[in-house]
Each structure stands twice: as structure tokens, then as C-alpha cells.
Amino acid sequence: MQENLSVTEEILEEPPSRRANGTLTADPSGTHLWLIGGDYYDGHRLHTYHNVYRFDPNKGDKGEWREYKSKNAPAPRSAHQTVATAQGGGKLWLFGGEFAGHSTFYHFSDFWSFDIQSKEWERIDTKVRPSARSGHRMTVFKNFIILYGGFHDTGVRTTYLDDLWIFSLDDFKWRKIEFSPLERKPSARSGFSFLPCPEQNEVVVFGGFCKTYEKGKRPVAKSLDDCYALKITTDEKNNTIFKWDRRKKVGYVPSLRSGATMAYWQSKNMGVLFAGVSDIDDSEESLQSVFHNDLFGYNLLGGGKWQSLNLRKPKKAGTKKKAAKKRAAKAAATAESDSDKGGESGSEDEQQPQQPEEEVIIDDPQKTVPMPRYNAMLAILRNTLFVFGGIFEQGTQEFTLDDMHSLALDKLERFKCIQECNVVGIEDEQDDDDEDDDDDGEEDYEDEEGTLEKGTDKQENLAETQVEPNEQPEEATQENPSDPNQDEGLPQPGETLRQFFERTKDRWVEVALQKMPEAQAKELRGVAFNLAEEKYEEHKPILREIEAMIRESGAEPIAAKSQQQPGSTSRNRR
């Protein structure tokens, strides 16, 4: 039992691998960030993580990442939610999410607490609790953890939820809040913003995403930009009363988008929104997407008001010169006036006009803004916004990002790049308009993953170019492989030996052919199957471990063959 509760701590030489749909949560002490879970689609399959990382922004220019591992931990997942409370030295609370294996898809309904002091996980089991879901949102309000919305995927249809749940930190019990059908309330949704406003005893819901279904018609994706305040009061019997109230759109409202969730800036009672994606879904054949990297603030007090958070513009070139010339002209006029009066105005040096100060060229702060994206992870520590990862799409290709940036919100001068983006191909797309005329005959080569490399004949796989061997994503299905290609040859949770072989047989046939170049096709297939079986048996203990974690979590399995393909717009936007 003690072995299961043991925790290992490691200072990382490299930052976490690229991901989206994880959670980045500010430590209640205001000193660290916690990154948990997330996923990454490499063009072939979806990698789902269960890592727990702590980031200290005060350790050098790039900060310090630490990873904490424990066998008694939640199963790998993404699209879950994590919130923090300060009591008892600080805790993180995690609920729900999803896991996509090769042959199965799971929704979770388990609830966990993570002790920030001991770094130990504890599962909170209750008879009554929210149903399994992903894409929901949670926030902390006084002694409550409040959960709303999300979606549940049956493999055939995605059902969006509008239920409200309250977890009491006093008695550790979940309670569903019922509303009259006649009451106005937010529509079902996922991927929205959910922010507390304790000064006004309310919690605010903004935006999100859903799909509408009509018989005989294809599902229609819909981004939302409405806003509701959940007012929380008590009656004369000290019962807590919950009531929804719709808010009007006031101020500089962001354009309609999905994949953008606000972080809570406590000292300013403000939500901060960054990036997102706007889709024009005109038909099944075409989907036009516009990716954003703009920044907005939503003042929670009063009735709520939007404002654009623009970086402060640098001083225009020549400003100092003009000011110096004015001072020199004024000094010359004064000296001439004194001379006419026959008076002494000072020494010869003092009477000389001041020389214009040399202009200091200031870099454009807009150049520091992170590239457009959606499903990025945002958190605010004190007055600093942090942005990590997310997704960018280029044509039909999906790129998961690994960069990290920070911005001092109280200054709004420029973003600081903590970790540069290592994704190959995206930079070329951004600069196409500027560089198309300057290629000097060089060709662009595109491989099956959409990775671009200018002026070479080499075609590289996205997963290989993006991750060095020591940066390979650490999943529950592998242990730091030294071969960057090894990941594609590993069995996945829920995958039988036959399914594993059929998925990877080309790889094993190639290895068999190297060993037996003169062998016949049937003989090669037999050797290839034996190689696959050896690999499958080698990794069976790891598979059993992750499958046990998933079973113990109470996950609801769904047949993967009915699922949307990983990387599809449906999966990302929902």
C-alpha cells in the first residue's frame, strides 16, 4: 500500500511535450502553475497524458518544470477540469474528462483531490455525483466547487449538457441543483468560460460550443457568445438559492469563436480571454476557419463589460528628436531675447542649444504576440498571464503546439516567450504572403503529415521532427523510449494482439525482410507476427496497469469504431 502512495519528484531538463485540452491551474499561493493531462494527435493516433507538472516561473528566464509521479493517480485524460483551493495547505480538484485508445473511447466521472504539500492523490467517492463527461467547466465559489455543462459522446451522437452541480467542501457531497422548466437558463454547451464573482455573489458563464440535431439533417456546429450570471443567495432559513440571470453584451465584445476559455484575474475581478477559432460551416464539403491571437478582458463587476486588451504602442520614431528640437528652439529664442536686452543669460556652454537626443528604436510589441491557436491552456498568477500549447490547423492538417508565453497584465507591454514553438511547418504558412515572391525557385515538399521543409528533398514525419528522443511524450503505455519511432510500434490500451498486428504489420514485415531478404511472403508474415507478439507481450504489464486505472475510475467505454476520427473538427471544437 505504501508503494502505491509513494511519490517521485523530478526536475525536468526540458519542458513538457506539446499538448492541448489539458489544465493549467494557478497554485493558491500564487507561486506555481500546475499542468495536468492533455492530448496530442500526431497524424496517426491520439496520445493522452496523465502527467502532473509544476512550473516555477521565478527559476531563471525559462522557469523550472518538475514532474510528480504516483501509482495512486487519475488515469490519462484530456478535456477534464481542475480547480484549486487554499485550505489545508492547498489542494487541486479534478473531475471527468476522456481517454481515446485504439479500440475504445472512455468518458470519466471520477473525482480526485491532489494535496499540494504532500503531492499525493486521493479519490473522492460519493454515491451521488455528476455523470461522466468532457468539456465541462468548474470554478470555486466560497465553500463550493461548482460544475456546469460539458458533453457526453455515445459514439453515434454527442449530447451537450446543461446540468448544474455543487460540491460542498464542508461535507464532501455533490448536489444537483434543479431549476423550473419555466426559468430562463443557459443552453447546453461545452468549452465555455466559467468565472467566479464573489463580490456580487455570482458565477458567470460565457460562450462555448454545441451541436444542434434535426431529424433528416446533418448536425450543425454552433459557437455561442451569450452570457449568464448564476446568482447565489441564502434565504431566511439559511438555504442556498441559485438563480440564472442573462447578461447583456456591453463593450468591445470578441468575435464569435470557440476554443477560447477565459482565465480569472482575481485582483481585477476580470476574465481574460485569448485566441480561439471562428468557423464558417456552410456545408459538409467546406469548413472555413479563422484563427485568432487577440486578447480581451471581461470586467465581472456591475453588469459585465468587455474591453480589448491591446499591448501598449511604442513611442513613434522621432518623438525624442522633436522634443529636443523644441527645447533647443526655445533655448535659442530665450538667448536671443536676452541678447537684445543686453543681459547675460549664462556661460557660453549654457547658451548653446541642446543637441537632439539620439532616437532609440523600440521593437514592435505586436511581434511578441503568440501565434493564433485554440484550446490553449491559460492561467493567471497574481498579475501575469501564462499561455501554454493549443492547436493550430493548416489546411486539413492539425498541429499541436508546445510553446509557452507570459504577459504582465498590469503593464501590457509585450509577451515574453518562455518556450519557443518547435512545430515544423507552421512558420512557413504564416510567412507565405511575405516569402512567396522570394523563394528563388526553391520548392516546398509536403509529406503525409503536412510537415513542410523549404529547399530540401528530405520528407520528415511530424512526430519525428517535433520530438527529440528525450522529449518523447510520456504516456502510461510507454517508458521513455530511446527510439523516436518506437511509439508507433507499441500496443495501445484496449487493443488485442490481432488488432495491434494489423495496425503495425508493415513495420514488422519490414524488420522481417531485413532479417530474411530471400524469404517468401507467407514466411515473412509469420515472422512479422512473431515480432509483433513479442512486443505485445513485452508491454502487456503496462497495458494492464493503464486498463486497471481506467476501470477503477468508473469510466464508461464507448466503441471507438463509431467515434469521430482523432484530429477531426468535431473532436476539437466540442
Go through the domains of the chain in sequence order and give each one's CATH number.
Answer: 8-312+368-419 (2.120.10.80), 497-570 (no CATH)
pLDDT band (50, 70, 90) for residue 491: confident
Question: Between residues 2 and 220, which one has the greater pLDDT?
Answer: 220
Q: Express each pLDDT in 410-469 by its tens digit.
A: 999 999 999 999 877 765 444 444 444 444 333 333 333 333 333 333 322 222 223 332
Q: Which of 53-62, 305-314, 517-526 has the lowest mean pLDDT?
A: 517-526
Name the β-bridge partners of 456.
none
Q: Given pLDDT bands bounded at 50, 70 and 90, which one contains residue 477?
A: very low
The stretch 315-325 carries a mean pLDDT of 60
Tell me the residue type at 236: E
What pLDDT is stored for residue 517 in this prediction?
A: 80
Residue 233: band (very low, low, confident or very high) from pLDDT cuts 50, 70, 90: very high
133 has a pLDDT exceeding 60: yes
Q: Between the ranges 232-241, 293-302, 322-331, 518-527, where is the mean pLDDT highest?
A: 293-302
More confident residue, 118 or 314: 118
Residue 482 dihedral angles phi and psi, to the nearest 5°: -85, -20
Is residue 320 over pLDDT 70? Answer: no
Of 368, 373, 410, 399, give the one whose Cα is nearest residue 388. Answer: 373
For the segment 204-219, the average pLDDT, to the nearest whole number, is 88
Whole-model pTM: value is 0.75
- How far is the C-alpha of 42 from the C-alpha of 63, rounded, in Å? 27
Question: In this structure, are residues 191 and 257 in contact, taking their beta carbons and an 8 Å threshold?
Answer: no
Q: Which of 418, 389, 399, 376 is closest to 466 using CA atoms?
A: 399
CB 276 within 8 A of CB 374: yes
Instruction: Calculate mean pLDDT across residues 219-226.
Output: 90
Full 3-state SS string of 95-121: EEEEEECCCEEEEEEEEEEEECCCCCE
Residue 563 pLDDT exceeds 50: no
Which pLDDT score, from 0 to 100, does residue 435 have? 42
Question: Would you say residue 326 has pLDDT above 70?
Answer: no
Residue 102: DSSP 8-state: S
The reported pLDDT for the residue numbered 530 is 84
Q: Which position has the higher pLDDT, 67 or 442?
A: 67
Share of residues in the chain with pLDDT > 70 (%): 71
pLDDT higher than 50, residue 472: no
| Residue 470 pLDDT > 50 | no
* Highest averaged pLDDT of the listed ranges 216-230, 474-488, 505-519: 216-230
For 260-265, what is the mean pLDDT? 96
Quick one: cell of 402? 508546445
Query: Distance of CA 401 to CAs 228, 324, 472, Å?
Result: 32, 47, 14
**197 or 448, greater pLDDT:** 197
Going by C-alpha positions, the residue among 21, 424, 22, 479 that lies closest to residue 259 is 21
